[in-house]
Structure 1
Amino acid sequence: MDRPERRSWCVRAASLQSGAGGPRAPHVRYTGEPSGSDGGPAPGVPSGVDWVGLRERLRRIALGLTRDRHAAEDLVQEAIARVLATRPDLAHHEGYAVTTLTRRWLSEQRRASRRAAWLGRYAAGRVWAVFDAGASLDADGRRARFERAVADLPPTQRAALVLRVAAGLDYGSIAAALECEVGAVRSNLHLARARLRKALADLGPEGDGV
């Protein structure tokens, strides 16, 4: 039987197809390889794609963006489903998948912000940030403080930072994913790092490597 996450790729891809008479979305077998309804290769999907490896690379990026394991899994599945449904010929192109995932996350962030600006991680971070600035924090405390600081970054700054640090993308690739100029990428990275340094300044040497 298929793994639930593999089946979800197929279900989501099918839901993204336009019209009942449009091309059928590929099924996904247990191995993660897309296949047609007869079990053979799915039309239009290149063979030899390392789907498991692609999923893990996207998952690392998604975790950096969402800071939540379940949200990251949903984001990865949505991104892969969209690639399979809209551009299966580019399924082997990791850069296209990264761009799809990043734009999807940014779109979700913008919608959430419009719906309720006062909700979310920002408020929680502010509550947790109230502590004695002179207190000595252990490793877990420093990690938690860093994660809250990253969560407080504006979506575009957080995306630029994650794509640069976690995914190792160059400025041009980040600009393509964020649909902006390279200069804007540099600016967002500078602002993100400055905000993190300011937020972590009282942690001592551990906070200097941001």
Structure 2
Amino acid sequence: MTVPLRDSPDADLMTGPPERFGELFERYSDQLYDYCARRVGRQLAEDLVADTFAAAFAHRDRYDVTAPNARPWLFGILANLLHKHRRAEARGWRALARAGRDPLDGARPLDESFADEVGDRLDARAATRSLAKALAAMPHEQREVLLLHVWACLDYPDLALALALPPGTVRSRLHRAKAKLRQALPSHYAPST
């Protein structure tokens, strides 16, 4: 009995015939794109996600087949590609901190979840600027862990896999990043520990 494509484990898709690799793209490309677009904008995100899957396909022999899914591994590849763009990203965060306008043309919608009241909007915009300033000033290692945790919803073990770091290093970097956000943001916006 053949296993339908949709039910195949990631390791089978990674090690199986090349034509089955495409299902990994179907499973994870939207998640990678959403995360990446928030970081570098939509146009560059398309290129980076394509490059991520091209690299994953070219190096699929390096995939740890004991891993339950390929998601952290793919986010790790994407994180490595994003390292090349970290200076541009930091400039974008600084621009957002100064002007309160998203330089990525809406890749990070700022106003969708804000309350309709003007006072709440002004308060939220001030918090957005503070957040952007804190992210721009944050060392890229801490920013990477924080954004993968928040935007890609990777937990500690997946972060460790994605970034090829010991779990203790992940915890430490995330703790430091959250501490910097707590300092930068008003208490009702600050992240919990």
Output the TM-score relative to the length of structure 1. Answer: 0.57
Q: Which has the higher contact order (CA 8 A, sep 6+)?
A: 2
Query: 2:91 aligned with 1:120, yes or no?
Result: yes
Q: Structure 2 matches for 1:43-192, cutoff 5 A? A: 43-46=17-20, 49=23, 51-64=25-38, 66-87=39-60, 93-109=70-86, 112=87, 120-121=91-92, 123-124=94-95, 127-128=98-99, 137-192=122-177
Shift of 1:77: 1.8
Query: 2:168 aligned with 1:193, yes or no?
Result: no
- What secondary structure sits across from 2:153 in the alignment? coil
The amino acid that maps onto 1:179 is A
Residues 44 and 89 in structure 1, CA contact (< 8 A), matched pair in contact too: no
**Change in 2 beyond 3 A, CA 1:142/1:121:** same
Q: How many residues align?
A: 153
* Equivalence for 2:188: 205
Structure 1: which 4+ aligned runs deviate by more than 6 Å?
none
The amino acid that maps onto 2:34 is R
- Cα distance between partner residues in 1 of 2:85 and 2:163: 14
- What secondary structure sits across from 1:205 in the alignment? coil
* Equivalence for 2:115: none
**5+ long unaligned stretches in structure 1:** 1-41, 114-118, 130-134
- What secondary structure sits across from 1:206 in the alignment? coil
- What secondary structure sits across from 1:120 in the alignment? helix
Shift of 1:172: 2.3
- Cα distance between partner residues in 2 of 1:165 and 1:63: 14
**Change in 2 beyond 3 A, CA 1:48/1:104:** closer
Q: Report the aligned-residue RMSD.
A: 3.4
Shift of 1:125: 5.5
Which whole-Å deviations, capped at 9, do the CAs of 1:66-111 have from their partners, x for residues lacking one?
2533332222121112112332896x822321111112212443xx
Which whole-Å deviations, capped at 9, do the CAs of 1:103-158 have from their partners, x for residues lacking one?
2212443xx59xxxxx83465356449xxxxx982434434543443344222111
- The structure with the greater share of residues assigned to helix is 2
More displaced 10-residue stretch of structure 1: 157-166 or 50-59: 50-59
**5+ long unaligned stretches in structure 2:** 1-15, 64-68, 101-118
- Cα distance between partner residues in 2 of 1:150 and 1:56: 24
- Cα distance between partner residues in 2 of 1:122 and 1:167: 18
- Cα distance between partner residues in 2 of 1:82 and 1:205: 41
Residues 96 and 132 in structure 2, CA contact (< 8 A), matched pair in contact too: no
